[in-house]
Each structure stands twice: as structure tokens, then as C-alpha cells.
Amino acid sequence: MNTRRRLKLLAVTVAATPLVLGGCTAERGGEAGGGTPPPAVELTPADRARDVPVSAEVGTSVTNGKVSAVRLTDDKGRQVGGEPREDGSSWVPGETLAKGRTYTAEVTVTGDRGRTATRKTTFTTAAKPTKPAITSTLYFAGNQTYGTAMPVTVAFEPGVPKEARAEVQKRLFVRTDPPQPGTWSWLEDGSQVYYRAPDFWRPGTAISVRAALEGMPIGKALVGDADRKATSKIGRQVAVDIDNATKQMSVFQDGKLVRRIPVSLGKPSTPSSSGKMVIMEKHERTTFDTRGEPDGGYVVDVDDAQRLTWGGEFIHSAPWSEGDQGYTNVSHGCANVSATAADWLMGITQVGDLVTVKGTEVPLQAGNGWTAWNVDWDEFAKGSALPVPAGLKPSPHTAPHPGAVAGGSSPAPAPSASGG
């Protein structure tokens, strides 16, 4: 059903900059120390570079040492915070640089026997972008509690070209505490990219996200639109399993079955999707408006609705179909449950909880919702535009059932407001 609504949790987009040789070298330490070469570092952006993207990083190409200090200041003497990438290839400012300002980066590297070398580069950022900005949305809000299957999702409109995805992915940062590494994976059309770990998030994990895209060149025709940050935590482990064969919903908490609920799924002309979905929104009351859709034409208010797909599939209260629940499919694609059961579900589920539907007439389509869990890990990792560490694999001790306890290794289509 095609009444369009977006979760505008956070808009995001980004830019990177090529590396060029910097200037102004002052080395200390000489050739003392048995002929061991002194440390050295080359910097980017190049000294006196102009029209540098505001997404610029301080590139550091080091020989015979390691970066021991970075100081970035603007033309008013204000210091900009930041941190190095894990591979040491660059230093990333903690905020988007200001437009049309001059910055000086001073980098010190330390080598054998404490010898150091310091180099500076001064560059000026572009006053304004000369290309239109891509529209991006970050589906991960701050100060929330999410379910253990919650993927970090960034959507783009238009989709990011394949040749630009690696650079965009480099500017999408995720940090977990305690550490539980994962990877990003792109939809084929570049309209969405998801981040998850091989296994479900551990309850209590804090996840910090930064989509540092503002001003970043994206392909030949676009730049990133915004720099967004959010930190939230993972709550209790809950999963929902819906079986069309039995017309029953099984609700699990911490791996234990806590309730079975009769359901009525989509009738043959409007079947529900089979696959692994994630709860995307929760509404105590909302309106399904299907006017203008091929099989629609109605407007109805519903209570306790939980979105599963962009296409308008929800779990929701349906007192009008309680006589069919557990026996016959009569909905327009949603999972109908009783008013009492829907109210109870709203109290136990979280956005980000896994919902698995099986045995219906049609499979869940990639990108119709947050479909990061609808493929296995190996298939998911193939969608990364950057290399994925070979050792990053699902835990052998994690049960495949959606009710299993989480654990293990450390522009989307506009949503339809319909249901049925």
C-alpha cells in the first residue's frame, strides 16, 4: 500500500578526499643510531591545497615509525579533535570541517630509539559544494533501546553508484562496547547499506554510529549531504516466529518460549512475505490508507501496529478477524492478532527485534524493510565494498533458531502506510 512515510530518524551523507604530498618538514634525530633510517611522514591534503572537501582527512604515509601526535587547527587557532583510522592510513577529524576555512595539520611520527619527525600541511576547504547533494537517511536514532537484530541502516536516494561505494563505506563508522565487529553490506542498487555482526548483538551492548558524509564526493555527480552521530544500546533478547502452516506466532525471550498467539496472515490475493524481518516502527495507533492501490481502497484506524516492511506489512490488533485467527488467512498481508495479544506484544517487543515468517506464498524481497538477516553471513559479507576479515564468522555455538540467545563474534523505497 503506497501512502508514503519515512522514518526521519537521522539524515546522513559523506565525502572523502584524495591524498597528496604535504609540505613544511622539520625532522629531528638525524642519522644517529647505527645507520637506522630516521622516521618520515608524508601528508595530505597537499600544502597550500585549495577547494578541499569539508570531509577531508589528514592522510599520513609513514616510513620507519608510527604517528605519535596529530594537531589540527583552524585559522582562528581552534583545535579540532579526531582520531586515527585503525590501519594508520589517515587521521579523521571528529567533525565536518567548516566551509571556506584554512586549516593547519601538524603530525609527529616517532621511530626507533625515540627519534621523531614533524611535518605540517596547510589547506583551505571549499566555500560551497558545486554538485548537488545526495539524500541520505540514517535509521539509527540516539538514546534508544533496540532489539538484538537491529541493523544500522543508511538509505540513499538516488542509490550510490557501485564505483563510489567503497569510499562511502569508509566514512560510515560503527563502534560497539563491548567490541562485536561486523561489516557493511550494500543492496544491489545502492539504495541501502546495512551494518551487522555475524551474530545478534549481545544485550547491553552500546552502539555508536557516525555517518560522516557531508561534502564528500560521491561518484562524479554528487556530494554527501550531512554528518550524523548517534549512540544507543541493545535491550533484552526477544524474537518472534510466525508459522503459516499452524497460523501461530511463537514469542521468545532470552531463548525461551513465553507465549503462543493465533494469527491470520495475508489471504492468497495479498499474501504475507516469508523471511527474516526486523521490527521497524511501533505505533499505539495509526491509519492504514490504501486508496489508489490496486487491491486497496479502504481507510482504517488500527491499534498497536508494528511495521515489518516498507511495503506495508505490520503486526497489529485486528479485532474484526479474531474468529479467523489461528484458522484462516484473511488480511491484506499483515499479521492480524487479537486486541489483547497486540497490546501484550507492544509491551515486550522493541524496534530491532527479529520476526521470522515462514510458509507463505511469496518470499521477502531484499530491501523491503531492513532485510540484513534475510541472508546468511557469507552472502551478507559479499555485499561489502571493502574486504571483510576472513576470521569474522558466526559463532559455532549460536543456535540458528530465531529464538536463540544473541551472542558470538566480537534511499530505501518510501514506506507504505497500508496494512490489513
pLDDT at 36: 81
What's the Cα-to-Cα distance from 200 to each of 53, 134, 235, 242, 308, rounded to whole Å?
37, 31, 12, 19, 18
Rounded (5°) CA angle 220-223-227: 150
Q: Of 280, 135, 139, nearest to 209 (Cα)?
A: 139
CA of residue 133 relative to chain centroid, distance: 19
Rounded (5°) CA angle 68-71-73: 175
pLDDT at 399: 54
Could you say which DSSP state residue 268 is in? T
- Cell numbers representing residue 41 in the block: 611522514
Predicted TM-score (pTM) of this structure: 0.86
Q: Rounded to whole angstroms, how far apart are CA atoms 30 and 117?
A: 10
CB-neighbour burial class of residue 124 (10 A; exposed 0-12, middle 13-18, buried 19+): middle
Handedness of CA 128, 133, 138, 143 (dihedral sign): positive
The Cβ-side half-sphere exposure at 371, using a 13 Å CA radius, reads 25
Q: Of 132, 152, 150, 72, nearest to 108 (Cα)?
A: 72
pLDDT at 294: 66
pLDDT at 7: 33
DSSP-assigned beta bridge partners for residue 354: 239, 278
Residue 162, SS3 per DSSP: helix
- Cell numbers representing residue 317 in the block: 490488533
pLDDT at 12: 33
The answer to whether 111 and 29 are in contact (CB under 8 A) is yes
pLDDT along the chain (420 residues), means of 10: 36 34 37 72 98 98 96 98 95 98 98 94 94 97 98 98 98 98 98 98 98 96 97 97 98 96 96 98 90 72 96 96 98 96 98 98 98 98 96 79 39 49
The answer to whether 352 and 7 are in contact (CB under 8 A) is no
